[in-house]
Amino acid sequence: MARNPDRIQIEYTLTFDTLFHFGTGIREGLNDRTVMRDSKGYLYVPGSTFKGVLRERCEQLARLYEPEEQKHSAIASPHDAEAALQEFSSGKSTMITRIFGSQMAPGRLFFDDARQDEDSKSQYGSGDDQGAYKGLQVNLYTQARLARPTRTAVAGALYTSEFGTRELVFKGVIRGWLQCFPLDTALFAQPDPAPTYSLLLLLAGLRLVDRLGGNKSAGKGKCQCKITSLTMNEQACSEALWSSWLQHIDFLTYYSEAQEE
């Protein structure tokens, strides 16, 4: 039986090893492709973008541990209305929909935008010069669109893009409620608190986030995602504790059995 919803808060950092691009879809001056900025002009990572990439990583993991006969029943896309309806009628939710929600059962975890902290912002100027050097956040690149058949430049298709600079660090938070089945507490040296299947999958998925944003095929958006804190039901969990949970990632195989109990 699923236990009562756990109140979860996960804090993490994103450190970009390469240039990255979270596009606005808006042209500004001579820049054809601008990047996302907040109201004060500082770059940030949209929570919706991060959630989408994290969902993809969690889906990849979940497929590894699903029984063979259930691999085609899991919802592969949040827009798969037929699969969502089948899940709703069966009364059984996958680990993915417990974390991220579906059309029939909205998720209760919220993904805040990841932003630069005040120390990071101070490098762009402080005091009377606060924010005076925000232009250092971005690099400009001018490229020509190539015709795929000939691999030559298309006439009149020269465009300029903004990219966030490498080594920028962003801090984000995932918070809300997560209801799922608990793993066997006998597995853990410290059984309280113990993770649920969905929380274990979420933590493992966070460790797999390695690229974000556009132009990934060109090597852009490479990043490192690091969990900095985890709180369950107002109780702080040490890194040593939740790292020990991840040693039991193979127990995700038994999620379907837990639903039958």
Chain Cα centroid distance, residue 181: 22
User: What would the pLDDT profile of 160-183 be if each residue is shown by its tens digit?
Assistant: 999 999 999 999 999 999 998 888
Rounded Cα distance between 136 and 209, Å, is: 26
Structure token digits, residue 15: 């450190």
Looking at residue 20, what is its pLDDT?
96
Tokens 């907040």, located at residue: 38
Looking at residue 217, what is its pLDDT?
85
Q: How confident is the model at residue 190 (pLDDT cuts 50, 70, 90)?
A: low
Q: Does 1 reside within a domain?
A: no
Mapped onto helix, strand or coil, the DSSP state of residue 23 is strand
Span 120-125, mean pLDDT?
88
Residue 33: which domain range? 6-260
CATH code assigned at 124: 3.30.70
Q: Does 119 reside within a domain?
A: yes
Dihedral-angle region of residue 220 (phi above 0 means left; psi in -120 to 50 means alpha; beta otherwise):
beta
Residue 160 exposure: Cα atoms within 13 Å on the Cβ side: 8
User: What would the pLDDT profile of 134-148 be if each residue is shown by its tens digit?
Assistant: 999 999 988 887 787
Mean pLDDT score across all residues of the chain: 85
Rounded Cα distance between 136 and 124, Å, is: 7
To the nearest 10°, report the CA torsion of 41, 46, 49, 55.
Answer: 150
Q: Does 81 reside within a domain?
A: yes
Structure token digits, residue 162: 């903004």
Q: How confident is the model at residue 261 (pLDDT cuts 50, 70, 90)?
A: low
Q: How many domains does the chain have?
A: 1
Q: Does 139 reside within a domain?
A: yes
Q: How confident is the model at residue 236 (pLDDT cuts 50, 70, 90)?
A: very high
Q: How confident is the model at residue 103 (pLDDT cuts 50, 70, 90)?
A: confident
Looking at residue 82, what is its pLDDT?
64
- Over pLDDT 90: what percentage of the chain? 49
Looking at residue 147, what is its pLDDT?
80
Q: Does 63 reside within a domain?
A: yes
Q: Does 178 reside within a domain?
A: yes
Q: How confident is the model at residue 212 (pLDDT cuts 50, 70, 90)?
A: very high
Looking at residue 3, what is its pLDDT?
72
Structure token digits, residue 9: 């808060």
* DSSP H/E element including 6: strand 6-16
Looking at residue 2, what is its pLDDT?
67
Looking at residue 215, what is its pLDDT?
87
Dihedral-angle region of residue 215 (phi above 0 means left; psi in -120 to 50 means alpha; beta otherwise):
left
* pLDDT surpasses 80 at 133: yes
Looking at residue 194, what is its pLDDT?
81
* DSSP H/E element including 157: strand 152-164
Looking at residue 79, what is its pLDDT?
60
User: What would the pLDDT profile of 33-88 be if each residue is shown by its tens digit?
Assistant: 899 999 999 999 999 999 999 999 999 999 888 765 455 444 555 566 666 556 65
Looking at residue 132, what is its pLDDT?
82
Span 224-248, mean pLDDT?
93
* pLDDT surpasses 70 at 254: yes
Looking at residue 182, what is its pLDDT?
85
* pLDDT surpasses 80 at 221: yes
Q: Does 173 reside within a domain?
A: yes
Q: Does 255 reside within a domain?
A: yes
